[in-house]
Structure 1
Amino acid sequence: MSISKPKPPRVAVLADSDTRWKWGALTAARVTGCEEPDGFLLRGRATPTARQLREVGVRAASLREVTANGFVRAMGETEYDVVVLALVGGGVQALVHGLRYAWQEAVKRPVLVTGYVGVVYEKLADGLLLRHGADVVLANSRDDAERFRAVYEGVGADSAGVVECALPFLQGEPATGDSEGPVVFAVQPSVPERRADRLYLLRRAAQHARLHPGREVLVKLRSRPGEHTTHIEEQPYQKLARSLDLPPNCRLEYGHMGTILDTASLLVTVSSTAALEALHRGVPTAVLTDLGIREALGNHAFLGSGCLTSWDALDAGHLPKADPAWAARQGVASDRPYESAFDAARARIAALLARPQLPPLSPYYTLATAPGYLPGILARHHLAPDGSPLPGAPSEARPPGPLKQVVRQAARGAYRHGVQRVAPVIRRMGDL
């Protein structure tokens, strides 16, 4: 007599960018066993394109674009066991209030899960309190879990929902130790911000390639021109590269980070989460100090890692070696099996699902604690202070018609033009 395995819970994932979709869908798989959740993409400036979704390489049972109100309505009409919010902090807070309103009459509501897509190096208190109210707030490392609990307890908020796990995309085979593999420079959309700094980094990557003609240097890009990711990219490296004469062994590269790391001999970055992916595989990882060690760059998060170094040192042949104790505290599974990093999250979700009824969502921010802050956050998503839809709020949950699609693409193009062309000019004028 065969014993059938229990069905995994039904899961919905709402994401607002390509990287957050990757985090949300893979998190759902790790903590619930649902390999293909129902996917929802929050309509906005960073809504991923079909190409970006293909590059992420995560499958969904279904995938559609929604507004915040459209998602809230969909959650009221469809029975899910777990809902994962893979959004910026303001989006999470708005959806917590919207879903709280929508589920107020529900006999049994879903378990609500959220977290961060990568290294948390700025706006710790702000981002965390905007995520409070979810049943589970995932922390990607031991350090993060301790910091998250301290923030919640510091304001008198419940910290029971903070659960330590790891980034869900730390996977792949260990490095082969091939010193002839490519050097991968993982760029970031918003770090550094200044054009001169980004040009400097690109020039140094090209210089490294010239000094080592037998080695490939890949400048790993996040998005193609016209696309947006989690952060706005005002100075795309593709555009900057046109002003440089890159050597033949230095080229711009798209593609899945995991595939590129399969053959890499060195990962170079300013502060990208790709550093943790590389460290997990045992790929030597360099976090650049050329522009200083500054909170604005995020490389301060790697203090004590053993990875901080400069292009000069790399040109001379230096290979950084990460400190194992530091790596373990940052969620890089060097001291235990990777899958066990998600055990606590699985147990927390299973315990919540086993309850006959869950209490209403209870965020820290209310009209009593933040009357001058919360209404504005909710209004940006067309929600009233009590979480109900504002009059006239868009709520369609299906893809827009052809005319609306054309108008929306034109609007996004105008927005990108303003960000990438007009805004930098205005800033330069302001500096005169």
Structure 2
Amino acid sequence: MPPRRIAVLADSDTRWKWGASVARQIAPEHALDAYFLRGRSTPTERQLAEIGIEPDTRRELPTAALVDDPELAEADIVVMAVSGGTVLALTHSLGLAWAGREHRPITVTGYVGVVYEKMIDGLLTRGGSDIVLANSAYDARRFGAAFASVGVDPESVVECALPFLGGEPYQPSTERPFTLTFAVQPSVPKSKQDRLRLLERAAAHARRHPDRQVLMKLRSLPGEHTTHVEADPYQLLIQNLAEPAPANLQLVYGNMGEVLDRTDLLVTVSSTAALESMQRGIPTAILTDFGVREAHGNHYFIHSGCLASWDELDAGAQPLPDPAWADAQGIGKSDPYAATRARVAALRAAGPLPTLRPYYTPQRAGIYLSGLLTRNGFDEKGRPLTDPLGAGDSGRMKKAVRRVARRGAKAVYRVGYQRVAPTLRKWGAV
């Protein structure tokens, strides 16, 4: 008998990391099929190797091609590691494509990181999936209450934790220098000026503490994309420091878990790497130098006890999270995916699954749904569009815009190839 299969649909390296990790948690004995959705942030080979989860099969295809994929329809479980709008489009279109089948996959979705903004916006686009994962007890309560209020089954919300929380507990080492790691984010802070200021402060900390190693953990290499666009990479900004970078400041990339293995203090504005660090017991600082603001996402950590500035870090601060706050965020949970596995087993035992039906239907929100379907290459009946960009003059106009965009992309690539790549080779390290 062939092994049961779990499929992960992902459109970026970050979402593949989340989706593949979820798959390994809820169905470790299943074969793992990767479906990479073609787009701006489709992960590269290097990004996939950095994550370190090797699928049994993999393919890259447009989102709309999923409705005609016979192997996807035969999967036992499908993890939708994509944006909320794409989840909605797929729930609608796959629901129509799989209607009437004796077997259809159990669909699972959720959030790649902490939910600090647009909760209702993202949640209702995920409504209708068989399982909506909540990364903490706090999220599970919020999600369940929202679903119950609008008529979506609150039992579809299942509490778990971020699937990549793990690794060896932190133990200080006397065999290497004390290491401060700054977890970089592509768009936080956003402006070039603020990103340069952040780099200047990291360099200043390295100068004040020559016995420390200060690492800037990068997200991507030149020419690569991730979920968010990085307009001003630190590989270029390091050339603009007021003074040459000290020898103990280093730009690094690689698997986040491996970097944390040699970290004594994790610093970030709001990256989910903070939760990975807290899980291990590594002192973790949520940077306040740019303010504690919803726009930066660090307001999520306001009750953590880990807010700190560079001045405080210079003075020796090494924050640890409040235990009650950490517990509410799913940190330190034992087997956090037991409830998800139980939910999968219960759905299968109940017999044939009902037809997938998202919260947003043509009757309830036809204009909104239509726009998201078109954006993902579907018509209102869930079928792939023959000309996703449109027809006639409108189609020709959009193709012209796309040609201009390609020219701009080539210019950006030239900058990355000619300027960023050599700088990375100079400053970066694995």
- What TM-score do the two structures reach when normalised by structure 2? 0.88
SS of 1:130 mapped into structure 2: helix
Supply the AA of the counterpart residue of 1:361.
L
Residue in 2 that maps onto 1:224: 221
User: Is the Cα contact below 8 Å between 2:278 and 2:320 reproduced in 1?
Assistant: no
Unaligned runs of 5+ in 2: 390-401, 416-430
SS of 2:155 mapped into structure 1: coil
Distance 2:72 2:307 in 1: 50
Supply the AA of the counterpart residue of 2:255.
H
Residue of structure 1 aligned with 2:132, choices 133, 137, 141:
137
The structural deviation recorded for 1:77 is: 6.5
Decide whether aligned partners of structure 1 residues 34 and 198 sit closer, same or farther in structure 2, where only a CA change above 3 A counts. Answer: farther
SS of 2:240 mapped into structure 1: coil
Runs of 4 or more consecutive aligned structure 1 residues displaced over 6 Å after TM superposition: 410-413, 418-421
Distance 1:119 1:359 in 2: 30
- The worse-fitting range, judged by mean Cα deviation, of 410-419 and 370-379 is 410-419
User: Is the Cα contact below 8 Å between 2:186 and 2:219 reproduced in 1?
Assistant: yes
Decide whether aligned partners of structure 1 residues 77 and 114 sit closer, same or farther in structure 2, where only a CA change above 3 A counts. Answer: closer
Distance 1:197 1:149 in 2: 38
Supply the AA of the counterpart residue of 1:56.
I
Residue in 1 that maps onto 2:152: 157
Residue in 2 that maps onto 1:404: none
The structural deviation recorded for 1:416 is: 7.7
Distance 1:365 1:419 in 2: 39
The structural deviation recorded for 1:417 is: 5.1
Alignment of 1:227-242 (within 5 A): 227-242=224-239
Distance 2:274 2:185 in 1: 12
Calculate percent identity across the aligned residue pairs.
54
CA-to-aligned-CA distance 1:315-343 (integer Å, 9 cap, x gap)? 0001112101100111111xx42x2x111
Residue in 1 that maps onto 2:4: 9
Distance 1:48 1:329 in 2: 32
User: Is the Cα contact below 8 Å between 2:3 and 2:31 reproduced in 1?
Assistant: no
User: Is the Cα contact below 8 Å between 1:8 and 1:32 reproduced in 2?
Assistant: no
The structural deviation recorded for 1:69 is: 1.8
Supply the AA of the counterpart residue of 2:374.
A
Residue in 1 that maps onto 2:303: 304
What CA RMSD, in Å, does the superposition of the two structures yield over aligned residues? 2.3
Distance 2:172 2:43 in 1: 35
Q: Does 1:20 align with 2:19?
A: no
Distance 1:255 1:193 in 2: 23
- The worse-fitting range, judged by mean Cα deviation, of 8-17 and 260-269 is 8-17
Alignment of 1:207-218 (within 5 A): 207-218=204-215
User: Is the Cα contact below 8 Å between 1:45 and 1:412 reproduced in 2?
Assistant: no
Distance 2:230 2:295 in 1: 15
Residue in 2 that maps onto 1:379: 374
Residue in 1 that maps onto 2:315: 316
CA-to-aligned-CA distance 1:26-81 (integer Å, 9 cap, x gap)? 10110122465100100000001111111011110011101112222115675111
Residue of structure 2 aligned with 1:186, choices 183, 187, 192:
183
Unaligned runs of 5+ in 1: 1-5, 395-407, 422-432
Residue in 2 that maps onto 1:261: 260
Structure number with higher helix proportion: 2
Residue in 2 that maps onto 1:369: 364
Q: Does 1:196 align with 2:176?
A: no
User: Is the Cα contact below 8 Å between 1:233 and 1:420 reproduced in 2?
Assistant: no
Residue in 2 that maps onto 1:206: 203
Alignment of 1:33-432 (within 5 A): 33-34=28-29, 36-75=31-70, 78-178=73-173, 180-244=177-241, 245-333=244-332, 336-337=333-334, 339=335, 341-392=336-387, 414-415=408-409
Residue in 1 that maps onto 2:418: none
- The worse-fitting range, judged by mean Cα deviation, of 160-169 and 30-39 is 30-39
Distance 1:379 1:393 in 2: 7
SS of 1:137 mapped into structure 2: strand
Decide whether aligned partners of structure 1 residues 19 and 413 sit closer, same or farther in structure 2, where only a CA change above 3 A counts. Answer: farther
- What TM-score do the two structures reach when normalised by structure 1? 0.88
